[in-house]
Chains A and B, each alone.
Chain A
Amino acid sequence: MTPIAALDGIEVRLGRLPVLRGVDFMVSPGEAVGVVGPNGSGKTTLLRVLATLLRPGGGSGTVLGAPLGTDQVRRVRRRIGLAGHQPALWNELTLRENLMAIARLSGLGETAADDALYRVGLTGAGGRSAGRSSHGMRRRVDLARLLLTRPRLVLLDEAAAGLDRSARLLVDAVVAEALGSGGGAVLVSHDAEHLGAAVTRVVEIEDGGMRVSGGRR
């Protein structure tokens, strides 16, 4: 079975600072891997490598079948959904307009955007300016984007931080949707409690290297 993502000895340096040191990592179809580690341990960098947004300086790997560091990754990027530390929103647009903009850039209809907005419970608040909305609302729109585009690989960075219970259930729903369609997910957090119920395996990262792996839930 072709893995959703497989990293072998990945090295990343930011300037002279080693951030990832020989990381081996795999996500199989139907698997949601939680990555736990302290601040500055390389969790976000690992997500950026998996999102094909950061070219590793050493090692090899594939994401959705595309070898990292090659132009082939451009062809799989539309199947990757990343919700980073900061929600990706245009502040001057309303919450609904943000989703509409993404729908249009993705080649999807406006009905799909409205449906995603409904699923995250924001239909009534869709007219609010994104810049003046709470962190929780902004994060919900980020999750709505993932429900809208339905990526095969979902990458979530501290997705549940600062969210209420119903919003945390949404994180689980987004992950479950990816797993249900044969995809995979990677969730990173500094606290295992914030990973959510959908995670099937947890690994720890410390100082840019995987310390313990294989702990199944």
Chain B
Amino acid sequence: MTEPVTTTVSAGPGAVPDSPPGSLHQLFETARRELVLEGRAGEVWGIVIPFGALALILLPLALGPDVPLLARVGPAVFWVVALLFGMLIALRQSSADPAELRDLQRLLEVDPAARLVGKALAGAVWLLGLLLVLGAATVVLYAPAIPVRWWMVPVVLMLVALGVAMAATLAGEVAAGLRSRSTLAPLLAAPLGIPVLVAAAETTDRLQVGGSILTPTLLLVMVDLILAIVIVLAAGPLEDATS
């Protein structure tokens, strides 16, 4: 603090334009900020991802060296661990704005839908990171059969990451400002994430046996779309309700 404090009245270069930036600009601005916030908070890469990987490591140790059994249960264990630890990421503390920041964003006329979708998008990026780490750990530790169409797996993972992130963002917003947020939000998010988990597990099952994945993939896409529509429609009323 070496510079003098300027107390004279000047027009300055400030003064906000009459209309706020477009929703898409606000969405990406929110997503970018959320990525930075979580990257610096370190909750995801420092705690959730290592513990998720540890959960995958513990089961083979408990089951013993039964390679066929591990290969059979591997994908199922992957999805259960992914959903449980994915919820922790999607409901991470850094994504919960305190009251003063919520007020600030309302006064800046940040589109509530853009704010929530931006948060969900950032959550999906972190979730995808978790799924990739857990996926790699599953391949190494459980040696499941690699599907012929393995290149479909990243697409499924992306759809799952988006679905879980949107479900958790929605639940987090419903519980925003409540003292019981950390308890209530997972209880609200888990039922929303279950259709995503069921469709994802079915898709990878069918990929492994070489069957058609059209139906479960369409189900994943539909669940994601429904969640996106609900977020966009509910964002405004939720913001008003939690003020």
Contacts and interface: CB of A to CB of B under 8 A. Distances in A.
Given A87-B100, A173-B6, A115 B1 contact: no
Contacts of A82: 103-104, 107
Nearest to B28: A104
A150 B1 contact: no
A84 interface: yes
A74 interface: yes
Interface residues of B, number: 42
B108 interface: yes
Interface residues of A, number: 57
A122 B29 contact: no
A77 B107 contact: yes
A147 B6 CA distance: 11
B180 interface: no
A161 interface: no
A137 to B, nearest CB: 8
B4 A150 contact: no
B8 interface: yes
Interface stretch (B34-42, B49-57, B64-72, B166-174): B34-42
A81 B107 contact: yes
A88 B7 contact: no
Interface string B1-17: 11111111111111111
B105 interface: yes
Given A92-B37, A150-B14, A102 B108 contact: yes
B157 interface: no
A20 to B, nearest CB: 16
A82 B99 CA distance: 13
A74 B109 contact: yes
A113 to B, nearest CB: 9
Nearest to A102: B108
Interface stretch (A1-9, A163-171, A201-209): A163-171
Most buried by A among B3, B11, B33, B107: B107
Interface of A: 48, 51, 53-55, 74, 77-82, 84-90, 92-93, 97, 101-102, 104-109, 111-112, 115-116, 118-125, 137, 147-150, 166-167, 169-170, 172-173, 176-177, 180-181
